[in-house]
């Protein structure tokens, strides 16, 4: 299903300079258009990891997909580079530059079908915001392991997180999407409507368009048994953890990192700075079986550095 942006675009044909472009965007989109003259501009152009900060001609905060289409069309007509920001977590700071920046944070609507266990979720939301909106219904989407990540980049990147072994990667649970392609058209795609494009955004590559919302399949997860399990890092404990994870129930996901123990107040002082296995654990199955599922992990070391695995939302 394809639609042309509803706003008239003839004004874009009269762009002579950056001033004309900004005025055209401000008259054409329903969302906000920020430039260096606006107080919010500095924050809007700065990514989560500020290793590189661009100076975009304008930062556009769209209200809907038609706004995004107008900005995409403007970038195509002017030849300006186009940057797209969801959570802006990318360590290479790909969501900043000197062209046009679409800041999706303003696209934050969420429509949950509790009975059907699906939801249409706009890509300006973060994993934390979505998780807390779904939690009262006992439902979840398996995102990554950091709540402040935007769901747009995370989903298109695959999405490996605490429910991956239980319900697959985030991208495995995408049923449909709304996307703006380079010609400035808005598409609603799924397995039946433009299946090639739908295939493309689910692992076929990158730069196929700007996704403005996803329809997700939701998992029934009323509660989990999870938290950090920190173990001494030795060749033996690392090997045992690898084996235990390979043999674990599919409801158990473990994200381990071998690292120096951080100076956190709940970590014994004598262990801080020592190499440990920081294992983030999540069991999403029947909680009556959680203790047995976790027993092989807890038996890896006679004395764990820290065990905070417990029932939680």
Helix (H) or strand (E) holding 246: helix 235-247
- CB-based contact 278:230 (threshold 8 Å): yes
The third-level CATH classification (topology) of the domain covering 224-312 is Vanillyl-alcohol Oxidase; Chain A, domain 3 (3.40.462)
Beta strands 100-103 and 82-85, pairing class: parallel
pLDDT at 260: 96
Residue ranges of E strands in 77-149: 82-85, 100-103, 110-113, 118-122, 139-140
For position 204, what pLDDT does the model report? 83
Give the per-residue pLDDT at 48. Answer: 79
Handedness of CA 53, 57, 59, 64 (dihedral sign): negative
| 307 pLDDT above the threshold of 90 | yes
**Could you tell me the residue ranges of all domains in the chain?**
2-106, 110-220, 224-312
- Enter the tokens of residue 8: 């008239």
For residue 112, CA distances in Å to 5, 26, 121, 206 come to: 26, 32, 8, 28
Q: Comparing C-alpha atoms, which of 223, 225, 284, 274 is closest to residue 249?
A: 284
CA dihedral angle for residue 109, residue 50, residue 35, residue 104, rounded to 10 degrees: -10
**For residues 14-29, average pLDDT:** 82
* pLDDT tens-digit series, residues 190-233: 999 999 999 999 988 788 999 999 999 999 998 999 999 999 99
Distance in angstroms (rounded) separating the CA atoms of residues 258 and 233: 7
Q: Which has more confidence, 313 or 113?
A: 113
Quick: pLDDT tens for 232-261: 999 999 999 999 999 999 999 999 999 999
178-181-186 Cα angle (round to 5):
45
Position 43 confidence tier, pLDDT thresholds 50, 70, 90 = confident
pTM of the entire predicted model = 0.88
Question: Quick check: 11 pLDDT over 70?
Answer: no
Q: Is the pLDDT of residue 12 over 90?
A: no
Q: What is the pLDDT of residues 52-88, one digit of tens each?
A: 788 999 999 999 999 999 999 999 988 999 999 887 6
Q: What is the CATH number of domain 110-220?
A: 3.30.465.10
| Banded model confidence at residue 136, pLDDT cuts 50, 70, 90 | very high
Residues 139-168 have pLDDT tens digits of 999 998 889 999 999 999 999 999 999 999
In this structure, CATH architecture of domain 2-106: 2-Layer Sandwich (3.30)
pLDDT value, residue 14: 54
**Confidence band for 10, pLDDT divided at 50, 70 and 90:** low
């Amino acid at each position: 299903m394809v639609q042309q942006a509803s706003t008239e675009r003839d004004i874009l044909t009269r762009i002579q300079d950056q001033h004309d472009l900004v005025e055209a965007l401000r008259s054409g989109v329903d969302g906000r258009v920020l430039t260096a003259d606006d107080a919010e501009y500095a924050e809007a152009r700065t990514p989560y990891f500020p290793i590189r900060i661009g100076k975009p001609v304008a930062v556009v905060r769209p209200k809907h997909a038609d706004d995004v289409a107008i900005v995409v069309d403007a970038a195509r007509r002017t030849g300006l580079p186009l940057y797209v920001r969801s959570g802006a977590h990318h360590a290479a700071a790909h969501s900043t530059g000197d062209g046009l920046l679409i800041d999706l944070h303003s696209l934050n609507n969420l429509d949950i079908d509790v009975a059907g266990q699906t939801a249409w979720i706009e890509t300006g939301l973060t994993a934390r915001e979505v998780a807390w909106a779904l939690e009262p219904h006992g439902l979840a989407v398996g995102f990554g392991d950091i709540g402040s990540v935007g769901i747009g980049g995370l989903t298109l990147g695959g999405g490996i997180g605490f429910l991956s072994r239980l319900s697959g990667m985030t991208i495995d649970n995408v049923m449909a999407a709304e996307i703006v392609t380079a010609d400035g058209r808005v598409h609603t795609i799924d397995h039946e409507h433009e299946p090639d494009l739908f295939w493309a955004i689910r692992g076929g590559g990158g730069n196929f368009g700007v996704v403005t919302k996803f329809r997700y399949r939701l998992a029934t997860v009323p509660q989990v048994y999870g938290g950090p399990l920190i173990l001494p890092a030795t060749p033996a404990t690392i090997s045992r953890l690898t084996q235990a994870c390979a043999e674990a129930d599919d409801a158990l996901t473990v994200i381990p990192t071998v690292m120096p123990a951080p100076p956190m107040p709940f970590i014994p002082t004598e262990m801080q700075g020592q190499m440990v296995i920081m294992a983030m654990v999540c069991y999403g199955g029947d909680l009556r079986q959680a203790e047995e599922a976790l027993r092989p992990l807890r038996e890896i070391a006679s004395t764990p550095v820290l065990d905070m695995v417990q029932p939680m939302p």
